[in-house]
């Protein structure tokens, strides 16, 4: 199994809503990532979890709240988002340390209205 | 300040010919480089990578060359096929012990392989 599974594939939410994005992998990877990608731009790193602990937060606003309940799951909780937060949110995972190759999920297309 | 640059936003190549995609980086601390391919509405798919201690890595039709002194790498696809048409991202990584990898992506090059 070399898949990273993200749900939902599409999400439309209002600015007052609370929603969550989910990511799952069963490759035994101990590093998991959230990236944000706007149209015609490269993916931008948001958060890195290493061994279920938040290790990198790239100055992301607090309306985005990551959570890593266990080594296979990664969530991104969303609250009070702005229309400019509309983007493709990508989850990725990698083996720790020795093989710096990230496997990406299909992404969640988020639209904030 | 872009640490990873791909100066060609797009490239068109005839089927069967060679495609050469270029990437430049500014941070000499990067120790691993990767190429990803991306179709619309999908996540990036890993293609090939190279460690900073090597200057070439080959996998089937894909070869990546690294010139550390010039801080430049390139991806060669030979022969190019219509199914290779996609956006190609160059990414660089600097390993951080126990903290996961910080993958930095370039802006991408859209490759079109014409039949």
Reported as a single tens digit per residue, the pLDDT across A22-72 is 999 999 988 899 999 998 888 999 999 988 999 888 889 999 999 999 989
Among B13, B30, B34, which residue's Cα sits nearest to residue A42?
A: B34
pLDDT at B97: 54
Partner-chain residue, chosen from A97, A105, A106, that has the shortest CB–CB distance to B97: A97
d(CA A69, CA A49): 11
Q: Please indicate whether residue B102 or residue A14 has the higher confidence score (pLDDT).
A: A14
Pick the residue of B23, B54, B100 with the most A CBs within 10 A to test the interface with A by mutation.
B100
Backbone angles phi, psi at A85, to 5 degrees: -80, -5
* Bridge-based pairing state of the strands A108-112 and A10-13: parallel
Cα atoms in the Cβ-side hemisphere of radius 13 Å centred on A98: 1
Please count the residue pairs, one from chain A and one from chain B, whose beta carbons lie less than 8 angstroms apart: 78
Please list the ranges in chain B whose pLDDT falls under 50: none
pLDDT at A44: 92
Q: What is the mean pLDDT of residues A74-96?
A: 93
Backbone angles phi, psi at A89, to 5 degrees: -100, 120
**How many angstroms away from the CA of A43 is the closest CA of chain B?**
6
pLDDT at A55: 84
Q: From chain B, pick out residues whose CB is under 8 angstroms from the CB of A101.
A: 34, 46, 49
Check if the beta carbon of residue A39 is closer than 8 Å to that of residue A64.
no
First vs last Cα of chain B: how many Å apart? 38
Q: At a CB cut-off of 8 Å and minimum separation 6, what does B78 contact?
A: B18, B19, B61, B63
pLDDT at A2: 66
Q: From chain A, pick out residues whose CB is under 8 angstroms from the CB of B36.
A: 104
Check if the beta carbon of residue B18 is closer than 8 Å to that of residue B74.
no
Percent of chain A exceeding pLDDT 90 equals 73
d(CA B95, CA B78): 31
Partner-chain residue, chosen from A44, A97, A101, that has the shortest CB–CB distance to B34: A101
pLDDT at B109: 97
pLDDT at B16: 97
């Amino acid at each position: 199994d070399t898949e990273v599974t993200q749900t939902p594939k599409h999400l439309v939410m209002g600015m007052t809503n609370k929603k969550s994005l989910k990511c799952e992998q069963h490759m035994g990877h101990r590093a998991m990532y959230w990236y944000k990608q706007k149209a015609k731009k490269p993916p931008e790193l948001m958060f890195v979890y290493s061994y279920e602990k938040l290790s990198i937060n790239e100055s992301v606003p607090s309306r985005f709240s990551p959570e890593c309940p266990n080594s296979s799951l990664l969530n991104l909780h969303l609250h009070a988002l702005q229309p400019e937060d509309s983007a493709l949110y990508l989850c990725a995972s990698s083996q720790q340390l020795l093989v710096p190759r990230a496997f990406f999920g299909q992404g969640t297309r988020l639209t904030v209205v | 300040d872009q640490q990873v640059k791909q100066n060609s936003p797009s490239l068109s190549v005839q089927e069967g010919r060679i495609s050469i995609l270029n990437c430049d980086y500014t941070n000499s601390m990067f120790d691993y480089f990767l190429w990803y391919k991306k179709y619309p509405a999908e996540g990036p798919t890993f293609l090939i990578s190279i460690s900073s201690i090597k200057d070439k890595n080959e996998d089937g039709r894909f070869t990546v060359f690294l010139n550390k002194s010039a801080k430049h790498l390139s991806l060669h696809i030979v022969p190019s096929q219509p199914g290779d048409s996609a956006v190609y991202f160059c990414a660089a990584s600097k390993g951080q012990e126990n903290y996961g990898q910080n993958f930095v992506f370039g802006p991408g090059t859209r490759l079109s392989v014409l039949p």
